[in-house]
Amino acid sequence: MITALLDIYENLGHAESLKMAIDLQLTMNQLFYDTETGDYFTVAKGDPNLIIRMKEEYDGAEPSPTSYTLHNLLRLYHITQNEDYLVKSKKLISCHREQALTHPIIFPHFITALDMYYHKPIHITLIGSSQDTQRKAIQVIQSKFIPNKIITFADNGESQQLLSSLGVDYISVAESKNPPFAQVCQNRTCQLAYSLTELENLLK
Residue 182 confidence class, pLDDT cut points 50, 70, 90 = very high
Q: What is the pTM of this model?
A: 0.91
pLDDT, residue 132, reads: 84
Tell me, what amino acid is at 81? Answer: Q
Among 44-53, 88-97, 148-157, 183-192, name the one with the lowest average pLDDT: 44-53
Domains in the chain, please, with CATH? 2-118 (no CATH), 122-203 (3.40.30)
CA 72 to chain centre: 5
Q: Which of 13, 17, 15 is nearest to 135 (CA)?
A: 13
Q: How far apart are CA 140 and CA 113, in angstroms?
A: 24
pLDDT digits (tens, 9 = 90+) for 23-56: 999 999 999 999 999 999 988 887 777 778 888 8
Distance of alpha carbon 18 from the chain centroid: 10
- Complete DSSP assignment for 138-190: HHHHHTS--SSEEEEEE-SSHHHHHHHHTT--TTGGGGSSS--SEEEEETTEE
What distance in Å separates the CA atoms of residue 87 and residue 78, rounded to the nearest whole number? 12
